[in-house]
C-alpha cells in the first residue's frame, strides 16, 4: 500500500512537471510584455531615450532576455517556494490575491456537498427500493427537469422568487455594502448572503447524483446475492444497506470524489451571477485582465487538485472494494 | 408411501408475472403465466427432482414455494414446525417478517455461483450473517468459529478460505460456499435451483455427491431443479416433469424413466444421448417451439407439439391423475395403451 502510494506520488510529480513546462511555454508565448506593462505609466514623463534605457533595465531585471530554460528553472524554483510573482491587476503578490476566493469557494462548496449528499443518497436509495412507485416516478420527472435546465435559469428563477418577489434573501454580493453593526450581526449578514447561491448549487447537483445513486442501487438490488440475503432471512434493512448499498457504493464514490474535487475549481456562472468572490470568477476575470501570473498559479493549482483527486479515487476503491488490490 | 411424512403441501399454486402495459389505453394487463395450478406434496427426506425446458417455470416454482415470490393464488403449507406440533403452517399467508422465522428451515442454492455471493463479504462473513439473523450465534466467538469451520469442512472448503473473498474462488468452490451458507443454518428443506448447470462436468459430480452426503448427514429434503435428465435421474427419488408452467408428470424416478406416460416426457427421455449401439431406438424429436407463456394454448398446453393430439386436447385441460401407483400424469392420451417401443 505505502509502496503504491509512493509510486503514485512519483508519477504525480512527473505529470506535474510536464504540465508546468507546457503551461509555462504557453503563457510565455502569449502576446504582451510585462516589462513594458510595468513602466507604461512613466512613458509620458520620460524622454524617449531615457524610456528606452529604463525599458532595457527592467527587462534585464525581470530576466526576460534569458533563454527559455533558464527562465523556466527560475520560475519553477520560485513556484515551489509558493512565490508566484506579482499580480498585475492588483499590484499584490499572487498568493494574497488567490487566498480569499479560494477560502470562500471551499467554504461554500463544503456546505453544498454535505447538503447535496444528505439529500441525494437517501433519495437515490429510496427510489431504487421503491422502483416504479408513484414517488419514484415523480422524482424521476423532477430529476430530468433539473438535469435539463441550465444553471443560470435555475439561478434566475430562485433570484426572482426569493430575492425580488418575496424579498426573503439578499439578491447578490458577499455582504450588505456599508453594513453597520456588531461582528456577530455582520456574520449573520454574510451567512444570509450565502443561502441563495448555496441553494442553487445544491439544487443543480441533485438531479444527476440522485439518478446515479438510483441506477447503481437498482443494479445491485437485481443481483442474485440480494436474493441470497433475503433467503437467509435477513431483515430488509440489512439487505438494502449492508448488501446492496455497499455494492452500489463503488460507482457512486468515483462520482462523489470527482464532485468534491470540483469544490476547489468553483462555479463561474453561479459566482458571477451572485457576484461572489470565488475561484471561478477570479480565474476568468484574471484571464480577461491578462493577469497571467494569477492565471498560471490557479491553473497549476487545478492540475494539482486533479492529480490528488485521481489518487484518492484509486485509493478509495481499495478501501471500498476488496477485489481491487491497490498495492499491485 | 403413506408412512412418509408430508413436509410441504402445495395446492393450486399459481404465479403470474404481470407485464408492463404497452400503452396507457391498453385495457387488460397481460401476465407471464409462470406456474399454473401446481399440486404437489413434498415428503420429508426425499429428493424431488423438477425437470423441464428453459422457461417452463421450474425456478419460479422453487422460489414461490419458498415465498421469495408471493404466489398469485393457491396455498403452500409447511408441516415442519415442531413449535407448532407439525401442524400445517400456511406460508402463503405470512408476512415478510413472520416468514423470516421459517427462512432458517428452508434454504435456496442458486444456479449462478458468481452472482449469488456478495463480492464485498468474506466467506466467514457470508456464513455468519445468516446465523446472526436467526440468533444462532453463541456468545463465545471461538465456538462460532469452530462451528463455521466444521460446516466449511463438511462442504469441502479448507479452513484458510474463511478470510477470502468470493472472487478468489473457482466456480465449483463458490458453489460449495453457497451450499455451506445454506447448510450452516441447519435447514430442513433446500431448493437447489440448477446448482450444477453452471459448472464443468467433472465438478458437477463432486457437487452432487456433496449434496447427497449432506442429505444423509443432516436428514435434508431437497427439491432439485435441473434441465439435465441424467443428473435428475441420479439424484432424485421422485421426478416432476414441467411444461409451460404445469406439472405434466410426477412419478418415482425408476418408474418415470422406465415407463414414461406423458408424450412430452417420452420426447425428453428419447433425447438423452446413449452409447448403446445394439439397441437402436427411435428419437422422437419435438416439432416447433415452446409456446408463449403469456398466451398459452387452450386445453392441454402440449397439444401444439404433441403428435397424439386430438380435438379434446385443444379444449379440455387434462387433470393430474394417478394412473399407476404413485405415478401421476396429466394427459388425455397417456402412453399406457401403447407399447413401450422406447426402451
Q: What is the SS3 string spanning B257-319?
A: HHCCCCHHHHHHHHCCCCCCCCCCCCCCCCCCCCCCCCCCCCCCCCCCCCCCCCHHHHHCCCC
pLDDT band at B342 (very low <50, low <70, confident <90, very high): very low
pLDDT at residue B136 in the model: 87
Which residues of chain B make contact with A247, given a CB cutoff of 8 A? 118-120
Q: Which of A137, A220, A224 to mutate to test the interface with B (most CBs of B within 10 A)?
A: A224
Q: Is the pLDDT of residue B338 over 80?
A: no
E strand or H helix at B18, and its extent?
strand B6-18
Q: Residues in chain A with pLDDT < 70?
A: 263-266, 324-328
pLDDT at residue B1 in the model: 46
Average pLDDT on B23-47 reads: 86
Q: Identify whether the C-beta of residue B41 lies closer than 8 Å to the C-beta of residue B65.
A: no
Q: Identify whether the C-beta of residue B223 lies closer than 8 Å to the C-beta of residue B50.
A: yes
Q: Say which of A224, A236, A246 has its CB closest to residue B110.
A: A224
Q: Identify whether the C-beta of residue A288 lies closer than 8 Å to the C-beta of residue A149.
A: no
For A249, which residue in chain B has the nearest alpha carbon? B120
Q: Identify whether the C-beta of residue B144 lies closer than 8 Å to the C-beta of residue B128.
A: yes
How is residue B22 written as a grid cell?
Answer: 404497452
Per-residue pLDDT reduced to its tens digit, B51-62: 998 888 999 999
Spatial distance between the Cα atoms of A82 and A90, rounded to a whole number of angstroms: 18
For B132, which residue in chain A has the nearest alpha carbon? A234
Which residues of chain A make contact with B96, given a CB cutoff of 8 A? 236
pLDDT band at B282 (very low <50, low <70, confident <90, very high): low
Quick count: other Cβ atoms within 10 Å of Cβ B17?
Answer: 15
- Say whether residue B133 is in contact with chain A using an 8 A CB cutoff: yes
Q: Identify whether the C-beta of residue B13 lies closer than 8 Å to the C-beta of residue B194.
A: no
Spatial distance between the Cα atoms of B330 and A261, rounded to a whole number of angstroms: 67
Q: Where are the domains of chain B?
A: 6-21+29-116+187-329
Domains delineated in chain A: 94-320 (1.10.3720.10)
- CA-based Rg of chain B, rounded to a whole angstrom? 21
Spatial distance between the Cα atoms of A318 and B7, rounded to a whole number of angstroms: 47
Per-residue pLDDT reduced to its tens digit, B305-318: 888 888 888 988 89
Which residues of chain B make contact with A238, given a CB cutoff of 8 A? 133
Tell me the count of A-B CB pairs closer than 8 A.
70
For A318, which residue in chain B has the nearest alpha carbon? B120
Cell 447538503 appears where? A115
Cβ <8 Å between A231 and B104: no
pLDDT band at B328 (very low <50, low <70, confident <90, very high): very high
Long-range CB contacts (within 8 A, 24+) of A241-248: A243/B118, A244/A217, A244/A220, A245/A125, A245/A217, A245/A220, A246/A320, A246/B118, A246/B120, A247/A220, A247/A223, A247/B118, A247/B119, A247/B120, A248/A213, A248/A216, A248/A217, A248/A219, A248/A220
For B65, which residue in chain A has the nearest alpha carbon? A231
- Say whether residue B40 is in contact with chain A using an 8 A CB cutoff: no
pLDDT at residue B237 in the model: 94
Q: Identify whether the C-beta of residue A201 lies closer than 8 Å to the C-beta of residue A112.
A: yes
How is residue A131 written as a grid cell?
Answer: 422502483
Whose CA is closest to B308, among B274, B272, B343, B265? Answer: B265
| Higher pLDDT, residue B23 or B330 | B330
Cell 411424512 appears where? B5
Spatial distance between the Cα atoms of A145 and A129, rounded to a whole number of angstroms: 22
Q: Which CATH class is domain B6-21+29-116+187-329?
A: alpha beta
Residue B19 to chain A, least CA–CA distance (Å): 13
- Say whether residue B196 is in contact with chain A using an 8 A CB cutoff: no
pLDDT at residue B174 in the model: 93
pLDDT band at B337 (very low <50, low <70, confident <90, very high): low
With 0.90 as the threshold, say if the pTM is over it: no
Average pLDDT on B16-36 reads: 83
Q: Please name the residues between 292 and 321 in chain A that touch chain B, using a CB distance below 8 Å.
A: 321
- Say whether residue B280 is in contact with chain A using an 8 A CB cutoff: no
Residue B339 to chain A, least CA–CA distance (Å): 46
Q: Please name the residues between 67 and 96 in chain B that touch chain A, using a CB distance below 8 Å.
A: 68, 96
Which residues of chain A make contact with B60, given a CB cutoff of 8 A? none
pLDDT band at B343 (very low <50, low <70, confident <90, very high): very low
Which residues of chain B make contact with A228, given a CB cutoff of 8 A? 108, 110, 116-118, 178, 181
Q: Which of A231, A240, A241 to mutate to test the interface with B (most CBs of B within 10 A)?
A: A231
Q: Say which of A225, A230, A235 has its CB closest to residue B118.
A: A225
Spatial distance between the Cα atoms of B261 and B326, rounded to a whole number of angstroms: 12
pLDDT at residue B341 in the model: 44
Whose CA is closest to B180, among B257, B122, B238? Answer: B122
Amino acid at each position: 500500500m505505502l509502496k503504491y502510494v509512493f509510486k503514485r506520488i512519483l508519477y504525480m510529480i512527473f505529470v506535474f512537471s510536464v504540465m508546468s513546462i507546457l503551461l509555462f511555454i504557453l503563457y510565455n508565448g502569449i502576446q504582451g510584455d510585462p516589462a513594458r506593462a510595468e513602466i507604461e505609466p512613466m512613458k509620458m514623463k520620460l524622454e524617449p531615450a531615457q524610456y528606452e534605457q529604463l525599458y532595457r533595465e527592467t527587462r534585464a531585471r525581470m530576466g526576460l532576455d534569458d533563454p527559455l530554460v533558464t527562465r523556466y528553472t527560475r520560475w519553477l524554483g520560485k513556484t515551489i517556494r509558493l512565490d508566484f510573482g506579482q499580480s498585475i491587476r492588483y499590484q499584490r503578490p499572487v498568493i494574497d490575491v488567490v487566498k480569499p476566493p479560494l477560502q470562500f469557494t471551499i467554504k461554500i462548496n463544503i456546505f453544498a456537498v454535505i447538503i447535496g449528499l444528505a439529500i441525494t443518497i437517501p433519495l437515490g436509495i429510496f427510489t431504487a427500493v421503491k422502483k416504479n412507485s408513484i414517488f419514484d416516478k415523480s422524482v424521476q420527472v423532477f430529476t430530468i427537469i433539473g438535469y435539463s435546465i441550465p444553471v443560470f435559469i435555475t439561478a434566475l428563477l430562485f433570484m426572482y422568487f426569493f430575492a425580488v418577489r418575496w424579498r426573503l434573501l439578499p439578491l447578490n454580493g458577499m455582504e450588505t455594502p456599508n453594513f453597520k453593526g456588531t461582528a456577530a450581526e455582520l456574520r449573520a449578514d454574510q451567512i444570509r448572503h450565502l443561502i441563495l447561491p448555496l441553494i442553487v448549487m445544491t439544487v443543480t447537483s441533485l438531479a444527476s447524483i440522485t439518478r446515479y445513486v438510483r441506477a447503481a442501487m437498482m443494479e445491485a438490488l437485481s443481483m442474485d446475492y440480494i436474493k441470497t440475503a433475503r433467503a437467509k432471512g435477513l431483515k430488509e434493512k440489512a439487505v438494502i444497506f449492508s448488501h446492496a448499498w455497499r455494492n452500489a457504493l463503488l460507482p457512486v464514490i468515483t462520482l462523489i470524489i470527482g464532485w468534491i474535487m470540483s469544490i476547489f475549481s468553483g462555479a463561474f456562472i453561479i459566482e458571477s451571477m451572485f457576484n461572489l468572490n470565488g475561484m471561478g470568477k477570479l480565474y476568468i476575470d484574471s484571464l480577461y485582465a491578462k493577469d497571467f501570473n494569477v492565471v498560471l498559479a490557479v491553473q497549476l493549482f487545478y492540475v494539482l487538485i486533479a492529480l490528488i483527486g485521481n489518487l484518492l479515487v484509486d485509493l478509495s476503491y481499495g478501501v471500498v472494494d476488496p477485489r481491487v488490490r491497490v498495492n499491485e | 408411501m403413506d408412512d412418509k411424512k408430508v413436509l410441504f403441501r402445495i395446492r393450486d399454486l399459481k404465479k403470474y408475472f404481470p407485464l408492463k402495459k404497452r400503452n396507457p389505453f391498453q385495457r387488460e394487463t397481460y401476465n407471464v403465466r409462470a406456474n399454473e395450478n401446481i399440486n404437489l406434496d413434498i415428503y420429508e427426506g426425499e429428493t424431488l427432482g423438477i425437470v423441464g425446458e428453459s422457461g417452463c417455470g421450474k425456478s419460479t416454482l422453487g422460489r414461490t414455494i419458498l415465498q421469495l415470490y408471493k404466489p398469485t393464488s393457491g396455498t403452500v403449507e409447511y408441516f415442519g414446525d415442531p413449535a407448532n406440533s407439525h401442524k400445517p403452517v400456511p406460508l402463503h399467508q405470512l408476512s415478510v417478517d413472520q416468514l423470516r422465522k421459517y427462512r432458517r428451515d428452508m434454504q435456496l442454492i442458486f444456479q449462478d455461483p458468481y452472482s449469488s455471493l456478495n463480492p464485498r463479504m468474506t466467506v466467514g462473513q457470508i456464513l455468519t450473517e445468516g446465523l446472526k439473523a436467526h440468533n444462532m450465534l453463541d456468545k463465545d466467538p471461538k465456538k462460532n468459529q469452530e462451528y463455521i469451520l466444521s460446516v466449511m469442512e463438511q462442504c469441502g472448503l479448507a479452513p484458510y478460505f474463511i478470510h477470502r473473498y468470493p472472487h478468489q474462488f473457482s466456480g465449483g468452490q463458490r458453489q460449495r460456499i453457497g451450499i455451506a451458507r445454506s447448510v450452516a443454518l441447519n435447514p430442513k428443506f433446500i431448493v437447489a435451483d440448477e446448482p450444477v448447470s453452471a459448472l464443468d462436468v467433472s465438478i458437477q459430480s463432486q457437487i452432487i455427491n456433496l449434496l447427497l452426503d449432506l442429505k444423509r448427514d443432516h436428514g435434508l429434503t431437497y427439491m432439485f431443479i435441473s434441465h439435465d435428465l441424467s443428473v435428475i435421474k441420479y439424484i432424485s427419488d421422485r421426478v416432476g416433469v414441467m411444461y409451460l408452467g404445469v406439472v405434466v408428470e410426477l412419478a418415482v424416478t425408476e418408474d418415470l424413466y422406465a415407463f414414461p406416460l406423458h408424450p412430452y416426457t417420452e420426447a425428453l427421455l428419447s433425447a438423452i444421448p446413449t452409447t448403446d449401439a445394439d439397441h437402436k431406438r427411435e428419437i422422437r424429436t419435438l416439432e416447433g417451439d415452446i409456446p408463449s407463456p403469456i398466451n398459452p394454448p387452450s386445453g392441454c398446453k402440449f397439444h401444439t407439439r404433441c403428435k397424439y393430439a386430438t380435438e379434446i386436447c385443444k379444449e379440455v385441460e387434462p387433470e393430474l391423475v394417478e394412473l399407476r401407483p404413485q405415478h401421476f400424469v396429466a394427459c388425455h392420451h397417456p402412453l399406457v395403451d401403447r407399447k413401450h417401443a422406447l426402451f
